[in-house]
Structure 1
Amino acid sequence: MRLLATLMLVAMAALYAAARTLEPRHLAWGYVRAFAEAAMVGGLADWFAVTALFRHPLGLPIPHTAIIPRNKDRIGDTLASFLRDNFLVPRVVARRMRGLDVAGAAGRFLANPAGEGRLRRGASRMVAHLLESLDQERLGGMVRTAVASRLEKLDAAPLIGQMLGAAITEQRHVPLLDAAIQWTGQTLVANEPMIREMVHERSGSILRWTGLDETLSNRILTALYRLLGEMADDPRHPLRQRIEQALVSLADDLQNDPETRAKVMAFKADMLANPAVTGWLSRLWEQARAGLIRATRDPEAALAGRFGEALRQLGATLEQDARLKAGINQFARRATVGAVSAYGGGIVRLVSDTVRSWDARTVTSRLEAAVGRDLQYIRINGTLVGGLVGLALHLVDRLS
């Protein structure tokens, strides 16, 4: 655009020279000369004005030129004050946030992900690159340490006791107890030869000689099978009730008995110190990291399963539930206003200090790159408008 404006000025100069030479031959060349002469004046004046904003015209230290480089610090302060007074005022932010439906926008994004493909793919690539660029060993160690630290601080005994108590109250322990009885029966069947051998070895020689050891083995196994069968068939069997009472007592001890809680804490500490658990945490993190990378690399596949369906349902809920939407919007408004109150001054200082840290050439190049095309249009328009004004003045002069 600068080249175009300069070529127009050169063209007006050439046209002026030609018109001045040809003016004696015809009156029309006088109008052309007046247009070209005034166009040169207008183009030169606007060239001087535009250039004076960013540098000294022709390198001459003319007063009140190179305005932006000389006043860059004041420009930075003014820009920072403008941001502070018009954007980073809590009441202004709160007023503008009232018209924003953050929850609705998030709901539409989640409910109709196909319409936001480019944004989702861009965010997915960014997350994938971030995960891949981080040091796997160091990040894994940090995650493992953080998880282990949280587990060490967790008092698991009361939590286990509450879960066990709730399960007993809601009879959710019954299937587990039935499964335990069934497993005991299967174990007994699988180890029947071993039991018979144990009875045979511990029997006296008379019992072995008379064969009563085999009878004793049969009676022991029959009694055990009968006991397990009765426990499986009768929910009120005395042994089952004693087991349930023991579970209730255990649930209470886990919540209230310091000795039991100390034993659980010691067991937990031993478990966390076990290298197998440490390796399991590391593998768990690697699997989670690999899964995240796969999901971010192929967001369409990730959103096609249950996870995607859950996100779409969440989006629909955000769009339809007025109370939830109002709560989220209120939270977003308060969070934004709080952030402005806490960090607005820092943002203002950042803008001011950043502009101050730039050298004059950087400020000039960046501002000229931002508005330079429009400024060159000023030169072009000045050339044309100046020419038209000169033509009009020449016409008035001829008519008078």
Structure 2
Amino acid sequence: MDKQAQLKTAKRQALLWLCGAAVIFVLVTTVQVLYPAYQNSFFAGLIKMAAEAALIGGLADWFAVTALFKPIPARYPIPHTNIVARNKKAIAENLSDFVKEKFFNPVAIESLIASSHPAKGAGRWLKQQQHADKLARYLCDTLAGFLHVFDDAPVKQFVMNAIRKGINKVDLGPLASGTLTVLTRDGRHQLILDKLLHKLAVMSQTPETQDVIAAKLYQWLKTEHRRLEKILPSQWLSEQGANAAVKALADILADIDEDASHPLRLAFDRQVAIFAEQLENDPVYLQKLDDFRQQLLENDTLQHYLHAVWSDVKTWLDKDLADGQGRSHKAIASALCEIGNAVDEDPALAASIDKHIAEAGRYMAPELSDFLTSHIRKTIEGWDEKDMAQQIELNIGKDLQKVRINGTIVGGLIGGVLYFIEQGIGLLG
């Protein structure tokens, strides 16, 4: 049964109670007129007064309920009728303020999040494979939609122009210098140097490296000292020279590796600092960075290559995202399951996530409440007064008809009590 039918049924029931009281009142009054012996009857008087009071109570409540939604009478209504339509603006203001104060204030939002433990619930939900698959499917469809949007020619051109403008606005000097400074902070670049030195030491001691050095020395003797090369054992000298060179190189690398204050390390520090300073302040380096940027942006070959790469990647992604068993779907679903397990099994992680969600909710609550309450207020103010009254009556009128029924019943009971009081006072006389 729809709301309109429910409202009609409720009105019919209330009307039947009111008509029942009216019929009883008319019947008893008629009996008393036709049969004077019943005029002083206790029970006839009780029933008549109860019916009369029930009729008055039912009519009064009918007027009160109907006056909320309709003008009475319709053509020339009396004051304090059609209350909902007359007070549309006040209703809009009060309802929006009530929603804002009771439902969307920061304390209520934070309390709701704290009591519901959203992270724990999300973890339990995500750890189930079917739920992870469902969310992964949604995310894949969303990503596919974004790909189609970016593939649109005007959108693609807009994005490319925005990227070019953004890159042109970036000050590369301070960016490069700052990046280098961060990378070398706390001697991080020395760790890279250590790795490089270790790699060189290992490579220098391999037979292949020694053979290369010996061959170079032998070639050098044959080229630069032809006469001596014919007299001396060139091959043996080359091999011995290679061994000596490798040993000397290994000793040097070991000295650098063991000495944190080695001159080579200090020189490396100075060069890195100088280079970072030049990147930020030297006009020559700044111009080189700017030229390099322009060459990248204006290089047709590079642009064509990037476009071809993007086209291939997009084609593969588009096909893979559409496949319910594709790599993207499986990877996302697996990651979601792992996240769900981690959150569900780690109370500290769940509590931390809940805390951050609560902070975000508290931060967003004022703006969100302003937006929603403003939307509620403007929507109600935009309604037609008659339609607004009909909609409100349709949603709460069914319950208000119970007020009419209760008014009829309670009025009858009060009438009966008053009759007993009247009779009691009469006995005193």
Q: TM-score range by the shorter chain?
A: 0.5 to 0.7
Alignment of 1:1-400 (within 5 A): 2-12=7-17, 13-14=19-20, 16-17=22-23, 35-57=50-72, 59-64=74-79, 65-77=81-93, 109-110=118-119, 113-114=122-123, 133-134=145-146, 135-137=149-151, 138=155, 141=159, 153=172, 155-164=175-184, 166-167=186-187, 171-182=191-202, 189=209, 192=212, 199=219, 215=234, 223-224=241-242, 226-228=244-246, 230-232=248-250, 234-236=253-255, 244=265, 247-257=268-278, 258-259=281-282, 261-262=285-286, 265-266=289-290, 269=293, 273=297, 275=302, 300-304=336-340, 308=343, 313-316=348-351, 335=363, 352-368=377-393, 371-396=396-421, 400=426
Task: Report the Cα offset of residue 171 of structure 1.
Answer: 4.2
Q: CA deviation at 1:301?
A: 0.6
Q: Distance in 2 between matches of 1:279 and 1:211?
A: 64
Query: Partner letter of residue 194 of structure 2?
Result: V
Larger radius of gyration: 2
Q: Secondary structure at the match of 1:44?
A: helix
Aligned residues of 2:126 and 2:339 also touching (Cα < 8 A): no
Aligned CA-pair RMSD: 6.1
Q: CA deviation at 1:59?
A: 3.9
Q: Secondary structure in 1 aligned to 2:77?
A: coil
Bigger CA drift: 61-70 or 121-130? 121-130
**Partner secondary structure for residue 62 of structure 1:** coil
Deviation for aligned residue 1:388: 2.0
Amino acid at match of 1:43: G
In 1, distance between residues paired with 2:75 and 2:383? 23
* Cα distance in structure 2, aligned partners of 1:297 and 1:146: 37
Letter in 1 for 2:254: P
SS in 2 for 1:173: helix
Alignment CA distance shift 1:245-1:117 (3 Å): closer
Tell me the secondary structure at the aligned position of residue 269 of structure 2. helix
| Aligned residues of 1:156 and 1:264 also touching (Cα < 8 A) | no
Deviation track 1:247-301 (CA, whole Å, cap 9, x = no partner) reads 3243112221245853773586278547389569969x988xx899878767751
1:174 Cα deviation after fit: 0.5
Residues 255 and 261, structure 1, Cα contact 8 Å, conserved in 2: no
User: Which letter maps to 2:414?
Assistant: V
Contact 1:43 1:382 in 2 (8 A): yes
Partner SS state of residue 235, structure 1: helix
Alpha-carbon shift at residue 104 of structure 1 (Å) = 6.3
Q: CA deviation at 1:372?
A: 3.4
- Percent of aligned positions that are identical: 18
Cα deviations across residues 164-188 of structure 1 (Å, max 9, x unaligned)?
A: 3643676453123322454577796
Q: 1:192 to 1:105 in 2, by over 3 A?
A: farther
Q: CA deviation at 1:316?
A: 4.8
State the number of aligned residues. Answer: 373
Q: What amino acid sits opposite 2:8 in the alignment?
A: L
User: Would the aligned equivalents of 2:256 and 2:264 in 1 still touch at CA under 8 Å?
Assistant: no
Unmatched segments (≥5 aa) in structure 1: 320-324
Residues 46, 378 of structure 1: 8 Å contact kept = yes
2:64 partner amino acid:
A
CA contact (8 A) 1:68 1:364 kept: yes
**In the alignment, what sits opposite 2:3?**
none
**Which 5+ residue runs of structure 2 have no aligned equivalent?**
1-5, 322-326
State the alpha-carbon separation in 2 of the partners of residues 41 and 163 from structure 1. Answer: 89
Distance in structure 1 (CA, Å) of the matches to 2:368 and 2:376:
13
Task: Say whether the 8 Å CA contact 1:110–1:311 is kept in structure 2.
Answer: no
Instruction: Quote how far apart the aligned CAs of 1:45 are.
Output: 2.3
| TM-aligned CA distance change 1:73 to 1:21, over 3 Å | closer
In 2: Cα distance, 1:58 partner to 1:18 partner: 27
Contact 1:230/1:237 (<8 A) preserved: no
Query: For residues 160 and 58 of structure 1, do their structure 2 counterparts lie closer, same or farther at Cα, with a shift above 3 Å needed?
Result: same
Amino acid at match of 2:412: G
